[in-house]
Structure 1
Amino acid sequence: MLEVAALRAGYGPIEVLRGVDLAVGPGEIVALLGSNGAGKSTLNNNVSGLYRPFGGSIRFEGEEITGASSMHIVKAGLVQVPEGRRVFPNLSVRDNLELGSYRRGKPHRAANLERVLEIFPRLRERLTQSAGTLSGGEQQMLAIGRGLMGEPRLLILDEPSLGLSPLLVEEMFGLIGRLNRQGLAILLVEQNVVQSLALAHRAYVLENGRIALSGSAADLARDPDLRRSYLGH
C-alpha cells in the first residue's frame, strides 16, 4: 500500500532523513521504532504531505504522492493520528469526531460515528463534553476515533502510547490489534519497542535518519543489537 524509496527530507538546510526505504502492505501492522530525534515524525509529516521531501519517492496504492497536498493524501485514504493527540480542546467530543470526516467519509458519517462509539464506549458517555476536559487516555481515544471517521485505508499512529499509564498502554495496544484484525493496515510509530514488536508483523528501526535494522517483528525482537540499544541487554 505504502512504498517509501530513498526518501530524503528535513527542515530548511538541515537534512533529517538520509535515504529511507520503507513499505507497508495491505492488512499489515508495521512498526517504525526509534528514539527521540531519530526522524520518525519527519517521516510521518512528509508521508502525510505536511512537508515536501528533498528527494526520493512516496507511493500510496500505486499512486505517486511525493509532494502532494495533505488534503489530497487524506482523500486517498492515508490518515495520520499525530503525536500529542492535537484534539480541538474547546469543541465537543462529537464535533471533534465529525471533523474527522471533513475530507473523507462524509456520506457515511452517522454510521462511522456509531462504529467509533462502539469501539470507544467512554466517548459515547462524553459526546457533549469539551475535548479539553478529557483525560489523556480519553483524548488519545478521541484522536484515533477522529482518524477512523475518515475511513482510512492506512492509518499512521504517531506515538499513541506516549504519556499514558501502563494500564492504558496495554488497552491502547489491544485496540490497535483489534483494528488490524478488522482489516486496517497500520503504520505504528513508537518508542515502546517491546509492545510494538509483540504486536507488529514487520518493523524498521530508524537511527540518525537512516534505517538501521528491518525485518519481521519476531526476528527483530531477538536481534542482539536492538536488545542492547533499546532494551539494555
Structure 2
Amino acid sequence: MTEALLSVRGLRSGYGPVEVLRGIDLDLHAGEIVALLGSNGAGKTTFNQTVSALVIARAGTVHFDGADITRAHYRDVVARGLIHVPEGRKIFPNLSVRENLELGSFTRARANRAVNLERVFALFPRLLERTGQHAGTLSGGEQQMLAIGRGLMAEPRLLILDEPSLGLSPLLVEELFGLIADLHRQGLAILLVEQNVAQSLAIAQRAYVLENGAIQFSGTSGELLATDRLRQAYLGV
C-alpha cells in the first residue's frame, strides 16, 4: 500500500497533569474516509487538536504527507493542507457568512478565494442566500454548513470533521452525512470523528474506536459492524 497521508504513531497527549491519549496509532490514506469513533470523553477532540498542533504532543509522532508535523506550528499544519473543522463549529457570530468563509482562506488558497467561494455556495445554496447575514443568526444546521464551507475554502488535502452531527436534527444529520460522502467522491480525504457510529460506518472505509484514550478496535467498517462487543456497546444490538 502507498504511504499514508496521515500517519500517527504512539501519540500521547493531555492537559496539565492529565494524560488523555495513551499511545495512539492511526493511518489514513489519500482519498479515504476514516472514522474515529468513541463516546463523549474518550479523547477524540484531544486527538484532533494534537494532530492539528493546537495541543502539543507529549510523545509519539505525527506525519502528514511524509513530513513530521509533531512539533510544527498550527499555521504550518494548515499551510500543508491539514484542515480541522472543530467541534461546536467555532464560527465568528458577529461576522457575515461571507466574511467567515473568506477567513478560511487566510493562510492557504487565498489566490483562489473567488473560485472556492463559488464552489462552497454551489455545495451550500442556503449560505449563498444568507451571504450578508451575521453567522450567529443562522440555524444550527446552517452554522455547521458554514464551518465545513470555511474549511473547504483552504483547499484541504485532509479534512478533519470533529462531531459534525452534534446537536442536529435527524433529517439534517442525514443531509450532512450525504454531503460528506459527496466530498469523498470528489477525492477529498476525510477523518470523521463522531459519536454517531451507524451513520459513520455507513460511509467510512475504515474505522478506529477510541475508549479511555486508547484504540480498542480498528478495521474496515464491515469488520467493526461484525464485532459483537462493538455492536452491543455502540449500536445496542
Output the CA distance in 2 between the equivalents of 1:224 and 1:109. Answer: 47
Number of residue-to-residue matches in the alignment: 233
Amino acid corresponding to residue 164 of structure 1 in structure 2 = L
Residue 104 of structure 1 aligns to which amino acid in structure 2? R
Give the letter for the 1:29 counterpart: I
Map of 1:123 onto structure 2? 127
Cα RMSD between the aligned structures? 0.5
Q: 2:21 aligns with which of 8, 17, 24?
A: 17
| Aligned with 1:48 (options 48, 52, 72) | 52
Show the counterpart of 1:175.
179
In structure 1, runs of 5+ residues without a counterpart are: none
Following TM superposition, by how much is the alpha carbon of 1:222 offset from its aligned partner in structure 2, in angstroms?
1.7
Report deviation, 1:232: 1.7
Assess if the C-alpha contact under 8 Å between 1:198 and 1:218 holds in 2: no
Deviations 1:86-124 (A, max 9, x none): 110000000000000000010100000000000000000
Say which SS state the counterpart of residue 96 (structure 1) adopts. Answer: helix
**Shift in Å, 1:231:** 1.3
Q: Establish whether residue 87 from structure 1 lines up as the match of residue 74 from structure 2.
A: no
**In structure 2, distance between residues paired with 1:64 and 1:103:** 20
TM (normalized to structure 2)?
A: 0.98
Report the Cα distance in structure 1 between the residues aligned to 2:117 and 2:144, rounded to whole angstroms. 16
1:222 matched residue in structure 2: 226
Give 1:145's match in structure 2, choosing from 145, 149, 153.
149
CA distance, structure 1, for counterparts of residue 109 and residue 221 of structure 2? 32
TM-score, with structure 1 as normaliser: 0.99
Distance 1:232 1:127 in 2: 42
How far apart, CA to CA, are the structure 2 residues paired with 1:103 and 1:19?
31
- State the identity %: 67
